[in-house]
Amino acid sequence: MSISPVSAVGGLAAYADVAALGGAQQSLPTTATGRAGDVAGAVFPDVTGAIDQLQALQSRSDELAIRAVTGDLDDVHDYTIAATQASVALELTAAIRNKAVEAFNEIMRMQA
């Protein structure tokens, strides 16, 4: 049995690395147009795509749970794996969200 990594939140994995976000002394990154505000447009499609993938993992887990309860599922391990993948992806998404909120609050404290 091989274990594959959870790739459903791959879009968010790059944002989990604090070094990739840059230090506090650096200015906001800019896009080709040179405006820092355009960065949000470049980042949010990745985040929404990752959230869509998370939702798909949870839907698959729910579908397999229903099939397991009704007796239509041949291998219960499929449900267990899908439920664990959805759980880990949700925990990662929540952790990244918490770090983003924490960083925002820290920036607000620095400006006060």
How far is it, in rounded angstroms, from Cα 41 to Cα 96? Answer: 18
Query: What are the tens digits of pLDDT across the range 16-30?
Result: 443 344 444 444 444
Place of tokens 């729910």: 62
C-alpha 61/C-alpha 84 separation (Å) is 9
Pairwise CA distance, residues 28 & 36, whole Å: 6
Token readout for 93 is 């998404």
- Identify the pLDDT of residue 42: 59
Which residue from 78, 94, 101 is spatially nearest to 9, judged by alpha carbons?
94
Identify the pLDDT of residue 5: 56
Confirm whether pTM is higher than 0.85.
Answer: no
pLDDT tens, residue by residue, 4-17: 555 544 444 444 44
Q: Could you say which residues of the chain have pLDDT below 70?
A: 1-44, 112
Q: Which residue has the tokens 């925002």?
A: 104
Q: What is the pLDDT of residue 111?
A: 83
Task: Please report, as a single letter, which amino acid is at residue 87.
Answer: S
